[in-house]
Every structure is written in structure tokens, then in C-alpha cells.
Structure 1
Amino acid sequence: MPNMPNPMQLIADRWQPSARWVQRAALACVVMAVVIVVTGGAVRLTQSGLGCPTWPTCTEDSLTPTPAMGINGVIEFTNRMLTYVLCAVIGVTIIAARARAPRRRSLTRLGWAQFWIVMGNAVVGGITVLTGLNPYIVSAHFLLSTALLTVAVLMWQRSREGDEAPRELVVRPVRQLAGVLVAATALLIVIGTVVTGAGKHAGDASKNVRRIPLDWHEITQLHVDFVYIVIGLTVALWFTLRAVKAPAVPRRTVAELFAVLMLQGVIGYVQYFNDSPEFVVGTHMFGSCLVWIAVLRVLLSLRERGEAPAVPSPSAGHEALGAGQPAAASNR
């Protein structure tokens, strides 16, 4: 019995996306990862976390929300449906990365990593509903979304560069300082989820929703302290890059991070001194995504891997055939 053709190979034989097409698809994954974070926040801030009281269906008897569930059911169900949109975007990106020649396994692996993170987070989202919005599970749900954003940004960056061995643009102590900045920002985000878990926006109007048993003002102060640490590290890194005469790109990305941090700080203070209004909290969640993207771009700007490989020319293909290589094997 002949071997069944690989569907991915069949697509690659008939469609050759450009490098820009793959880059835009990877960027679309980044955008959708941010959208999922923001819409997930909207579910909590509109008290729609239990708009669909069970999972994977919306109710025990219905896959979709019923009219009696009102707007909360619609909001929660819409957020669930966005997961399918996200999977579709990731799927198209995987196919585009696989179809492009020369084949780059690093891109397809990052695409599949996104897919499996989404699948895992969908299960965590279901557990969130089934546990009545347990704040620790809610925090894990958000952090997995941040992990998805991390892989999406990495794939976007890799789609714009080559596969050469990384060439460091700065000396090791500077890279270590950047690593400390990334770690401090990660802790800042984790503490932010604790602030959310201890705060007033539980995700449902019911008084029975469990909260993290910490003083909200104290944990918020710790969050603010880490904001100052991250800002200090950012400023230190910028001056260090100037001192070692680093290339312009790393210095520019650090300056962009500083600008995002300043904007996020203003939003945070408005949120704190106005008793956390829903719209401002949602904006702050969007800002946290921008901060994390900016931090990752700083880290990735400290090395280069050459230019993205070009599509082989027809003459190169004829030369390969002349050397005795079967045409069908050229993309395997």
C-alpha cells in the first residue's frame, strides 16, 4: 500500500508564501495573544466569569448561552469562541512556516508550541469555571496566556532573522543585566496576578467567590516596589549600553521599554487612586502585555542571527536535480 501523502507537504508543493507573509502571520499570533488577555480581563471586569456556569458546554443542557443568562453569558461564551479564532491564526501560521522554502523547523516548532499552550490553557480555563473562579487557577490562566505571548513574540522575532548561530552584540555582563531585567519584570507580572486575586474584581457578582487572603494594599505596595526596580534596571541598562557603545538597535529598544513603563505607571496610579475602575484595570492589563513584549524585544535585540533565508532560485533547483537529487525530496 503506498504511503499517504503528507498534507503539509502537499500544501508546500502548491503554495510558496513570501518571507513577509510568514512574518505578518507570526505578528498576527502576537496580536491575538494580546487580544485573548484583554478579552479575558473583560470577562472578569464585567463579572461574567461564571456567565457560562459549566464547561465545556455553557450550561448543563446547552452548548451556547440561553437568553435567561443575559449579557454575562454572551461575554463569557464570546471569549471562549475567540480561542477558536486564535487556533485558526496559529494554524495558518504553522502552515505558512511549513510551506516556505527553505524549511525552517525552528518556526514550525514555535508554532506548534503556541498551539499546545492554547490547548492547555483552554483546560485551565475550564477548571477555572468548574472551581468557581478559584483565584489561584485564575492566576495560572493568565500566566499561561503570558507564556503564549512569549512564544508568539519569539516566533515573530525568529521569522525576521536567519538560522545562524547567535552572535552576541554586547559583552556578557550587559547580557546578564538584561537577564535580571527580564526576571524582575516576570516577577512584577506574577505579583500583579496576586494583586488581582486579592482585589475587588473577583469576576462574578456572587459574594461566594474565593479571594487570595492577603492585604490588598500591602501586596499592591510590593507590586509598586517592583515597578521601581524594573524602571531602575531599565535606566541602568540604557546607560550601560551607551557606555559600551552598543549598536543603535538595543539602545532604541530599551528606550521604547522605558516609554512603555512610564505610560503603564501612569495608568497604574490612576487605577490605584480611583479605586480600580473597570476600564482603567482593563487598560492596565493591555499595558502589561506591551511591557512584556518590550522587555522580550530588549533581550532579543542583544544578539543577531543573520538575515532570513531567501527562497531558492529556480536555477539552484535545476542544479540540485542535475546532481541526481529527486525533485520530490527537495522539501523533505
Structure 2
Amino acid sequence: MLYRGFLSLVDRLPLPSLRAQRITALIVILTQGGIAITGSVVRVTASGLGCPTWPQCFPGSFTPVGHGEVAVLHQVVEFGNRLLTFVVVLAAAAIVLAVTRARRRREILVYAWLMPAGTVLQAIIGGITVLAGLVWWTVAIHMLASMLMVWLATVLYAKVGEPDDDAETVQTIPQPLRILTALSGLALAGTLVAGTMVTGAGPHAGDKSIENPVPRLEIEIVSLVHLHAELLIAYLALLVGLSFGLAAVGMSAAIKKRLAVVIALVVAQSLIGLVQYFTGVPEVLVILHVAGAGACTAATAALWAAGRTREKVPSEQSVPTA
């Protein structure tokens, strides 16, 4: 009954074209990945506790107030990042309204509804991170959840572009190679987890309070860097193996393009990581590395989604009678 009422309200909106739906889905990817990047800005500027409470910024106020113990810059950066959550929510709500109004298939509706649900969950995780004093594992969960949202948003974008009616599922990547694609995704996940551990033991805690230092991961950072690098090499090796496999059986231009983009991004991400390590982890490279993580996640998700698509069933042409 409640859902029917929701549908009646949505039906008052203009019917979105397929192009409008795809643009909205693309904006969802950009906002989900973008807030991870602004989160890295918060961390490297030590603004993580610029708003020391949640959901309020300061006790009794949702907005920054003059507070001698917290620098104005830190308040502005952290509060600005919180405000971006509303942009993410608006984009997530827009894709739900667009695909619901267009009466897209159930699969698309499920992915669309995951966007606002995941964004709310991310806001809660962010609140826990602040209340826990930026302890490293809460920051790691926050980052990993963002990457998961980027993956889901990218799959949603791919599915929005597929037809609903008079279509059949086509497996464009053979099953053994599709399994290899999934393994590359798992290697990416392991690389991301190890990367958050490197951050947890590294110099950018998100706050530089001398009185209450942020708890760090007490593991030698060089060992964590090696683990992170080895997982990245495994990820790249699986992608190279996938490339040879697809070249042997043949692949479409779309898959070839996606594969090339993934490999290029992983190589670029590796180079950024190397420069970071040998230059003392400068702030700007941390931000670029987080942006690269989001780009690699989106590109891998796009490759995965391209392995099984829905395509229009060709209409039967009538055979002329003699």
C-alpha cells in the first residue's frame, strides 16, 4: 500500500529518457567516489575532528562555531565534507526516482535502492568514526564501504543501459574467464584492505592533537607496504592472464576497451604508490591515490558487468512465400 502511494507520486514526474537515466547513474558513481576523495582531504589536512561530535558538529550546533581549541580551517574542511553527503543523497534519490518512473526491471530497482541505503549506512559509519576518535580501523571501514558503493554504482550504470523487454542474457566472457575476472575483483579487494592498513600505520591519522593522539595500527609500516604491493602485483597479474585468455577466445571491442582501461589505471596507481613511498607520503599523492583506488574499482566493476549483459532479441523476419 505504501509502495503504491510512492508510485502514484513518482508518476507525476516527467518520464526520463534512457539518456537521462544513464547521466543520473553516472552522477551517482561520481558522487560516491568523490566523497571518498574529499574524505582523504579531511584526513591529510588533519581535519577529521574539526567537528568533534556527530550528528552535530559541536554540542548544541549542527554547524561550525567559534571554538578556540579547533582551528577554523579544520572545522570548514570537515563540515564541508559532511555537507557533501547531502549531494550524494540527492544523486541517490534521483536515480531511484528516475528508474522507478521509467518502470525499469526489478534488478535495476534493487541496485538503485542500494544507493540511498548505502549512503545512509556510510553516514552512520562516518559518525562512528568521529565518535571513536578516528581510530584507524573505523577509517578503514569507511573507505572500504565507499569503494563498495562505487562498485555497486558502476554495475547499476551498466544495467541501466541494457534493455528490459524483448531481451535475453548473453555471457560475453566464457565462464572460466569470468571466474578469473571475479578473482581479479577479489585481488582488488585484498589490495584495498591492505592499503587501508598501510594508512592506519602511516603518518596521516586525520588529526594531530598532541593531548589525545589518534590510535594507530602498531605494525611495521614497511611490512604492510610490501603486503599491499604484492597484492597489487597479484591483481595486475590476474588482469594480464585474463587479457591473454580473452585474446585467445576472442573479445568484443567493449571488453577490450574496458580491459585496457583497467590495466592502465592499475599501472598508474602502482606508480603513484611508489612515488608516495619514496617521497614520504606527501598529502597531494594521498588524495590522488584514493582517487585512483576509486577509478580502479569502477573500471574493474565495469569489466565485470560487461561479461554478462542483456541484449535485444532479434525479431524474426518473415520468409516470403512463393
TM-score with structure 2 setting the length: 0.90
* Corresponding residue for residue 214 of structure 1: 219
Superposed displacement of residue 107, structure 1: 2.2
| Paired letter, 1:44 | R
* Corresponding residue for residue 65 of structure 2: 66
Unaligned runs of 5+ in 1: 309-332
Closer/same/farther in 2, CA of residues 10 and 53 from structure 1, 3 Å limit:
closer
1:226 aligned to which of 222, 231, 245: 231
Superposed displacement of residue 3, structure 1: 9.6
1:281-320 correspondence to structure 2 within 5 Å: 281-307=286-312
Is 1:279 aligned to residue 284 of structure 2?
Answer: yes
| Paired letter, 1:117 | G
Aligned length: 306
CA distance in 2, matches of 1:148, 1:154: 10
Is 1:157 aligned to residue 162 of structure 2?
Answer: no
2:188 aligned to which of 169, 185, 189: 185
Are the counterparts in 2 of residues 139 and 193 from structure 1 also a CA contact under 8 Å?
yes
Are the counterparts in 1 of residues 27 and 91 from structure 2 also a CA contact under 8 Å?
yes
CA distance in 1, matches of 2:137, 2:3: 46
* Corresponding residue for residue 11 of structure 2: 12
Q: Which moved more, 1:64-73 or 1:210-219?
A: 64-73
Measured against aligned partners, the alpha-carbon deviations of 1:232-286 in whole angstroms (never above 9, x if no partner) come to: 1111111111111122222221111111111111111111110000001100100
| Paired letter, 2:257 | R
Are the counterparts in 1 of residues 21 and 99 from structure 2 also a CA contact under 8 Å?
yes
Are the counterparts in 2 of residues 36 and 82 from structure 1 also a CA contact under 8 Å?
yes
2:240 aligned to which of 235, 250, 254: 235
* Corresponding residue for residue 170 of structure 1: 173
1:258-277 correspondence to structure 2 within 5 Å: 258-277=263-282
SS at match of 2:100: helix
CA distance in 2, matches of 1:170, 1:106: 21
Q: CA RMSD in A?
A: 1.9
* Corresponding residue for residue 197 of structure 2: 194
Superposed displacement of residue 117, structure 1: 1.0
SS at match of 1:63: coil
Are the counterparts in 2 of residues 128 and 137 from structure 1 also a CA contact under 8 Å?
yes
1:252-263 correspondence to structure 2 within 5 Å: 252-263=257-268
CA distance in 1, matches of 2:4, 2:122: 32
* Corresponding residue for residue 314 of structure 1: none
* Corresponding residue for residue 48 of structure 2: 49
Superposed displacement of residue 228, structure 1: 1.2
Is 1:132 aligned to residue 136 of structure 2?
Answer: no
Are the counterparts in 1 of residues 28 and 91 from structure 2 also a CA contact under 8 Å?
yes
* Corresponding residue for residue 318 of structure 2: none
| Paired letter, 2:188 | T
Measured against aligned partners, the alpha-carbon deviations of 1:113-161 in whole angstroms (never above 9, x if no partner) come to: 1111111111111111111111111111111111211211111111111
| Paired letter, 1:52 | C
SS at match of 1:233: helix
Are the counterparts in 1 of residues 181 and 304 from structure 2 also a CA contact under 8 Å?
yes
Closer/same/farther in 2, CA of residues 205 and 175 from structure 1, 3 Å limit:
same
Are the counterparts in 2 of residues 23 and 156 from structure 1 also a CA contact under 8 Å?
yes
Are the counterparts in 1 of residues 272 and 289 from structure 2 also a CA contact under 8 Å?
yes
Measured against aligned partners, the alpha-carbon deviations of 1:218-239 in whole angstroms (never above 9, x if no partner) come to: 1011111111111111111111
Closer/same/farther in 2, CA of residues 278 and 307 from structure 1, 3 Å limit:
farther
CA distance in 2, matches of 1:158, 1:193: 30
SS at match of 1:167: strand
* Corresponding residue for residue 321 of structure 1: none
* Corresponding residue for residue 80 of structure 1: 82
Are the counterparts in 1 of residues 134 and 214 from structure 2 also a CA contact under 8 Å?
yes
CA distance in 1, matches of 2:3, 2:172: 47
| Paired letter, 2:101 | A
Closer/same/farther in 2, CA of residues 262 and 3 from structure 1, 3 Å limit:
closer
SS at match of 1:290: helix
Measured against aligned partners, the alpha-carbon deviations of 1:3-33 in whole angstroms (never above 9, x if no partner) come to: 9972432332451110100110011000001
Q: Which moved more, 1:275-284 or 1:247-256?
A: 247-256
* Corresponding residue for residue 106 of structure 2: 105
CA distance in 2, matches of 1:105, 1:54: 39
CA distance in 2, matches of 1:42, 1:307: 44
CA distance in 1, matches of 2:217, 2:116: 30
CA distance in 2, matches of 1:75, 1:277: 18
Closer/same/farther in 2, CA of residues 162 and 274 from structure 1, 3 Å limit:
same
Unaligned runs of 5+ in 2: 314-322
Are the counterparts in 1 of residues 168 and 312 from structure 2 also a CA contact under 8 Å?
no
Closer/same/farther in 2, CA of residues 181 and 5 from structure 1, 3 Å limit:
closer
